């Protein structure tokens, strides 16, 4: 029960502010408590004789309502601010499976905002594998992994992911968010340091907040800034808690420094310059590299092994075998198991999700050295204290990997590259300002399928997306502050291998039409 009661509960206004109890006015349960309280105040006060000497200013009544339900008042304030800024998020209900076309409100839409980069979230072989596992392993395990939540399917999936990505070991998490939330505290202590890209995903930021290591940040993608932050970390100085609070006391000697970056940044498809970050981390004593490859695993790079592959850092052995030796603090040094090697192109710890290209259901994982994974099993809190992945998800993800690692995967990645190139080219030709880009690096990656259409203003971006959907049946979403920096509102378009060329062309045509209507593009030339 909320303190002060919620909507529908009788309240009395502050003595002297109003002469009516508001019980008669708090009849709705759909408004927030504060909004209901404000309505009650307004209604009650409207009945008061105009000559009443007890007339109170509306501010006093609002203050009284807020005092009665401070949570409701603060939520109403937050909502009003978000609505005024055009950043209040609402959810559309999809009636059926995720795919390049979705049904919303009985209408079929072309969908350009899912993370199903390879279109496998409703693939028949994947769905069939999940159904088989329901028969063989049941629905849920009702347990965390270390009690009675580990099946042969979980173990098989961990082994398969590790072998594919060139890691010594792998550990599954309930989500990619949980993987990042669990890593830092389990591995690092107050004598250690984390060096983090300024635009890393929220889950990394939260994970870092939970650990006691000193925190250093470098400007987004700025390798010189990273070098300076590494020097600062090595000196045992600087660093803060990243929240503007006091720094964890500096240790005399930093023992471990973990550099962490998104491989591909989700809001604009920008790619971390791993080909420069890896050598820098390798030559820094005690430094290791962690990469979040949620927007890369399965589709980015020639064989879909992610950012390291896309940046030309993996060897030619597409099974994920080792190709180069390690030095410095990271990679295979300290590796404990015999035959397998940890070689992910200079990435020591790779976190990723099963919730995007790798089937799109749910789940995350960390690939790393065996001793790192062993410690995560002992100490990563989202692993220890949250239910295990459903067996059907593990089985279906194994079926996804059959596709991803085979010829079908090559064909899907080629289709995705084609679609991304087609969309980028046509949108640039039309005159839109596009962020991100990716590609290059010699690792078989074309343009990244995240294409941000930069619009700047939050309200403009949200209205633009609304017209795309309502007038053209194209489902895209606007992102604005605080999800992206102020003044950089955008519509993030995500291409999928499952889009047809006609889908991509229809999406571009809708952008051009709305762009002209809203003055983002000049009007069409007559003639």
Q: Which residues bind ligand PLP (CB under 6 A)?
A: 175-177, 180, 201, 203, 262, 266, 292, 294-295, 353, 355, 364
Measured distance between the N- and C-terminal CA atoms of the chain, rounded to whole angstroms: 67
Strands 477-479 and 474-475: unpaired
Active site residue 266: yes
The number of beta carbons lying within 10 Å of the beta carbon of residue 74 is: 13
User: How near is the Cβ of 348 to ligand PLP at its closest, in Å?
Assistant: 17
Task: Using the minimum distance from each CB to ligand PLP, give the nearer residue, 322 or 388.
Answer: 388
Distances in Å between the Cα of 219 and the Cα atoms of 214, 225, 312 are 17, 6, 23
User: How near is the Cβ of 110 to ligand PLP at its closest, in Å?
Assistant: 22
User: How near is the Cβ of 361 to ligand PLP at its closest, in Å?
Assistant: 10
CB-nearest residue to ligand PLP:
176
Task: Using the minimum distance from each CB to ligand PLP, give the nearer residue, 209 or 516.
Answer: 209
Is the CB of residue 238 less than 8 Å from the CB of residue 268?
Answer: no
Q: Give the three-class secondary structure for 21.
A: strand
Please state whether the peptide bond connecting residue 482 to the residue before it is cis, i.e. omega within 30 degrees of 0. yes
User: How near is the Cβ of 173 to ligand PLP at its closest, in Å?
Assistant: 8
Catalytic residue among 266, 297, 331, 335: 266
The number of beta carbons lying within 10 Å of the beta carbon of residue 489 is: 26
Task: Using the minimum distance from each CB to ligand PLP, give the nearer residue, 4 or 452.
Answer: 452
Is the CB of residue 37 less than 8 Å from the CB of residue 68?
Answer: yes
Task: Using the minimum distance from each CB to ligand PLP, give the nearer residue, 22 or 368.
Answer: 368
Is the CB of residue 243 less than 8 Å from the CB of residue 209?
Answer: yes
Active site residue 235: no
Task: Using the minimum distance from each CB to ligand PLP, give the nearer residue, 33 or 183.
Answer: 183
Chain centroid to CA 70: 31
Is the CB of residue 370 less than 8 Å from the CB of residue 336?
Answer: yes
User: How near is the Cβ of 181 to ligand PLP at its closest, in Å?
Assistant: 9
Task: Using the minimum distance from each CB to ligand PLP, give the nearer residue, 329 or 363.
Answer: 363
Q: Give the three-class secondary structure for 149.
A: coil
User: How near is the Cβ of 264 to ligand PLP at its closest, in Å?
Assistant: 8
Task: Using the minimum distance from each CB to ligand PLP, give the nearer residue, 297 or 331.
Answer: 297
Strands 107-111 and 101-104: antiparallel
Strand partners, 364: 173, 353
Distance CA 408, CA 426 (A): 27
Task: Using the minimum distance from each CB to ligand PLP, give the nearer residue, 110 or 201.
Answer: 201
User: How near is the Cβ of 22 to ligand PLP at its closest, in Å?
Assistant: 43
Distance CA 26, CA 8 (A): 5
The number of beta carbons lying within 10 Å of the beta carbon of residue 62 is: 17
Q: Give the three-class secondary structure for 78.
A: helix
Active site residue 89: no
User: How near is the Cβ of 266 to ligand PLP at its closest, in Å?
Assistant: 4
**DSSP codes joined into one string, 199-252:** T--HHHHHHHHTS-SEEEEE-TT-HHHHHHHHHHHHTT---B-SSSSPPPPPPS
Distance CA 480, CA 486 (A): 7
Catalytic residue among 13, 201, 340, 356: 356
Task: Using the minimum distance from each CB to ligand PLP, give the nearer residue, 232 or 309.
Answer: 309
**DSSP codes joined into one string, 161-192:** HHHHHT-SEEEEESSHHHHHHHHHHHH--TT-
User: How near is the Cβ of 162 to ligand PLP at its closest, in Å?
Assistant: 18
Query: Pick from 370, 316, 374, 368: which is nearest to 346 by CA?
Result: 368
Catalytic residue among 31, 295, 341, 472: 295
- Positions marked active-site: 266, 295, 356
């Amino acid at each position: 029960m909320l303190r002060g009661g919620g909507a529908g509960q009788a309240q009395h206004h502050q003595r002297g502010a109003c002469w009516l109890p508001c019980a008669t006015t708090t009849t709705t349960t759909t408004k927030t408590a504060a909004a209901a309280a404000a309505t009650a105040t307004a209604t009650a006060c409207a009945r008061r004789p105009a000559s009443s000497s007890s007339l109170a200013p509306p501010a006093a009544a609002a203050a009284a309502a807020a005092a009665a339900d401070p949570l409701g008042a603060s939520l109403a304030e937050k909502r009003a601010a978000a609505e005024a800024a055009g950043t209040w998020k609402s959810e559309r209900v999809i009636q059926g499976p995720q795919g390049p076309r979705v049904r919303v409100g009985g209408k079929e839409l072309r969908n350009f905002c899912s993370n199903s980069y390879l279109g496998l979230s409703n693939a028949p072989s994947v769905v069939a594998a999940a159904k088989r596992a329901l028969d063989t392993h049941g629905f849920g395990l009702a347990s965390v992994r270390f009690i009675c939540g580990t099946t042969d399917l979980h173990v098989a999936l961990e082994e398969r992911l590790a072998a594919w990505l060139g890691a010594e070991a792998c550990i599954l998490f309930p989500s990619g968010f949980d993987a990042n939330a669990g890593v830092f505290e389990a591995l690092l202590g107050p004598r250690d340091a984390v060096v983090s890209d300024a635009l890393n995903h929220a889950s990394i930021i939260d994970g870092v907040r939970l650990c006691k290591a000193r925190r250093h940040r470098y400007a987004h993608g700025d390798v010189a800034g990273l070098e300076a932050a590494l020097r600062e970390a090595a000196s045992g100085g600087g660093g803060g808690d990243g929240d503007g609070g006091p720094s964890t006391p500096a240790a005399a000697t930093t023992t471990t420094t973990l550099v962490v970056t998104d491989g591909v940044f989700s809001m604009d498809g920008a790619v971390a310059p791993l080909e420069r970050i890896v050598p820098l981390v390798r030559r820094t004593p005690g430094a290791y590299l962690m990469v979040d490859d949620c927007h890369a695993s399965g589709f980015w790079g020639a064989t879909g092994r992610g950012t390291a592959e896309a940046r030309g850092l993996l060897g030619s052995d597409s099974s994920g075998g080792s190709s180069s030796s390690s030095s410095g603090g990271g990679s295979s040094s300290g590796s404990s198991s015999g035959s397998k090697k940890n070689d992910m192109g200079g990435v020591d710890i790779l976190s990723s999700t099963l919730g995007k290209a790798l089937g799109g259901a749910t789940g995350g994982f960390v690939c790393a050295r065996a001793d790192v994974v062993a410690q995560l099993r002992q100490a990563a809190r989202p692993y220890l204290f949250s239910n295990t992945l459903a067996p059907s998800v593990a089985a279906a993800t194994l079926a996804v990997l059959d596709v991803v690692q085979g010829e079908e995967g090559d064909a899907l990645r080629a289709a995705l590259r084609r679609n991304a190139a087609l969309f980028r080219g046509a949108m640039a030709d039309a005159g839109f300002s596009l962020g991100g880009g990716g590609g290059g690096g010699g690792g078989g990656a074309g343009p990244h399928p995240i294409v941000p259409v930069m619009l700047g203003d939050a309200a403009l971006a949200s209205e633009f997306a609304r017209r795309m959907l309502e007038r053209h049946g194209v489902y895209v979403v606007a992102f604005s502050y605080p999800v992206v920096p102020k003044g950089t509102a955008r519509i993030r378009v995500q291409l999928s291998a499952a889009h047809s060329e006609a889908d991509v062309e229809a999406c571009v045509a809708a952008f051009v039409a709305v762009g002209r209507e809203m003055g983002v593009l000049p009007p069409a030339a007559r003639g």
